[in-house]
Amino acid sequence: MAKEIVARDCEMTITQGEFLRLLPAAVAGVPFEFAAGAFHSGDSRRGWRISLSQLPDRVIGAIRLVRYRAVFAFRSHSADEIAAFLRRFDLYFARGGG
């Protein structure tokens, strides 16, 4: 099996349902599966995995934000391929602010 490279480990304020709704477009329609708290695509030689684990909600006054830790790991991808994947992911998961 190819070595996995963790390319990002971050916190996201999003529900798992919203994550699932946005993910297909963010990964360019590549088929994926969900098992054991992780979305994954590929095989033992080449693929990607996004592990989600729920964190305690962040509470700011009357606001409660659902949080997840997201860890992105890749097997047999070049640095350029990983960067392109993360750019596309960020584009679909970006939220506006003011």
Q: Which residues lie below 8 Å from residue 71, measured CB to CB, with a gap of 6+?
A: 6, 8, 9, 49, 50, 51
List the domain range (segments joined by +) for residue 31. 4-75
Domain assignment present for residue 16? The answer is yes
**Has residue 12 got a pLDDT over 60?**
yes
Q: For 37-64, how does the pLDDT look when each residue is reduced to its tens digit (9 = 90+)?
A: 999 999 989 999 999 999 999 999 999 9
Distance, in Å, from the CA atom of 88 to the CA atom of 54, rounded to the nearest integer, reads 23
Structure tokens at 31: 């088929």
Q: Is 9 helix (H, G, I), strand (E, B) or coil?
A: strand
Domain assignment present for residue 54? The answer is yes
Domain assignment present for residue 67? The answer is yes
Residue 98 has a pLDDT of: 47
Domain assignment present for residue 34? The answer is yes
Domain assignment present for residue 81? The answer is no
Q: For 57-94, how does the pLDDT look when each residue is reduced to its tens digit (9 = 90+)?
A: 999 999 999 999 999 999 999 999 999 999 999 999 98
Domain assignment present for residue 93? The answer is no
Could you tell me the CATH number of the domain that includes residue 61?
3.30.1370
Query: What's the structural domain count of the chain?
Result: 1
